[in-house]
Amino acid sequence: METTQLLREYDIRPSFTRVSIYEYLKSHRVHPSAEDIHRALSPTIPTLSRTTVYNTLHLLVQKQLVTTLDVEEEQQRYDIPDHPHAHFKCRKCKAVYDLEDVHPSNIPQDKLNGFRVEEAKLVYYGLCPDCQQTA
Amino acid sequence: METTQLLREYDIRPSFTRVSIYEYLKSHRVHPSAEDIHRALSPTIPTLSRTTVYNTLHLLVQKQLVTTLDVEEEQQRYDIPDHPHAHFKCRKCKAVYDLEDVHPSNIPQDKLNGFRVEEAKLVYYGLCPDCQQTA
DNA sequence: TTGTCTGCAAAACATTTGCATACTG
DNA sequence: CAGTATGCAAATGTTTTGCAGACAA
């Protein structure tokens, strides 16, 4: 779908900046930080400020077009929650991988007694295949 | 088990400060932040510095006696990983609850192809029973 | 005495805020 | 014009670092 239209559906005015940031996230599935995004888009949008990147990301998160990662890191990282998946963070090389088809989808509702779940984040920590070799 | 002995088993010299911080975490299961811990122990240990709290927590995390929570918060929060459980964070009142008996224990290994998992963190976000009423 | 532990003060760094200017409908 | 978006500079707040003094094996 057109990003412009998608944003409109979520009640976000599709300014050039916002569209650019959303599309950057969509086409760079490496969970970039605000700083990464700013650095990447600065050549294209020379006036882009960090403040605007933060503003836009907050807005996108609030409207649920984007989520945060929360993976033992100082800098927050962002992701588009297209399809349910978990993350794996290597404690040696610090890379964050997507684990497709792994997700706490069917939680026994009786276990959640009364809590209404809107979102679930599952993160595994350990050693990625590469780092197991050099360990 | 005696905290003193437990720390020794994990190769940590059981100084008064370290034992105090570990026992505080053990007896206050509300996932306190470093600042919370410092504030709570200061009356007992007036000379306790924030630096030492941070140092100690880092050490305990490194030795795997303590884990971090990573739940969409600026301040890091700490927990003792006694028994496998997930967390639930209410997006309205911000409280973090333990969900006993909910945990991604049996991950189909074939789904993880090659990643060696040391730890898994599962966090649910939504509305707690109380906040659903006032919503 | 030698290495470890602790604490102070200063630094680092990501993020937020206040406010002014520039757009846009 | 009115409301929204953006940007700059300064502030905030948590965590880290460097170094010195205190403590313990």
Which domains does chain A possess?
A: 3-79 (1.10.10.10), 86-134 (3.30.1490)
The 10s digit of each residue's pLDDT in A12-62 is 999 999 999 999 999 999 999 999 999 999 999 999 999 999 999 999 999
Average pLDDT over residues B10-21: 97
Could you report the per-residue pLDDT of A83-122, keeping only the tens digit for each? 889 999 999 999 999 998 888 766 666 667 789 999 999 9
Burial of A27 (0-12, 13-18, 19+ CB in 10 A): exposed
- By DSSP bridging, strand A78-79 and strand A85-90 are unpaired
Q: How far is the CA of A20 from the C1' of C3 (A)?
A: 55
Closest nucleotide to A77 by C1' from CA: C14
CB atoms within 10 A of CB B44: 10
* Residues, chain A: 135
**Is-contact A115 B129, C-beta < 8 A?**
yes
Interface with chain B: mutation pick from A64, A70, A73, highest number of B CBs within 10 Å: A70
B81: which strand partners?
none
pTM here is 0.93
The nearest CA of chain A is from the CA of B130 a distance in Å of 9
Portion 52-91 of A in contact with B at CB < 8 A: 68, 70-72, 88, 91
| Interface membership of A107 toward B (CB under 8 Å) | yes
Q: How many residues does chain B have?
A: 135
Comparing alpha-carbon positions, the chain A residue that sits nearest to B101 is: A111
Residue B111, pLDDT score: 64
Closest CA to B73 of B123, B131, B22: B123
Q: How far is CA B37 from CA B51, B69, B77, in A?
A: 12, 15, 10
Q: How many CB atoms lie within 10 A of CB B1?
A: 6
Q: What is the pLDDT at residue B29?
A: 96
Q: Which residue of B has its CA nearest to A69?
A: B72
Question: Measured at the alpha carbon of residue B105, what is the angle toward residues B102 and B110, in degrees to the nearest 5?
Answer: 140
- Contact between the CB of B18 and strand C at under 7 Å: yes
Could A118 and B91 be called an inter-chain contact, meaning their C-beta atoms sit closer than 8 Å? yes
Show which of residues 110-129 on chain A sit within 8 Å of chain B, judged by CB atoms.
Answer: 111-112, 114-129
CB contacts < 8 A (A, B): 100
Q: Give the Cα separation of B37 and B56 in Å (integer).
A: 11
Largest distance between two CA atoms of chain A: 53
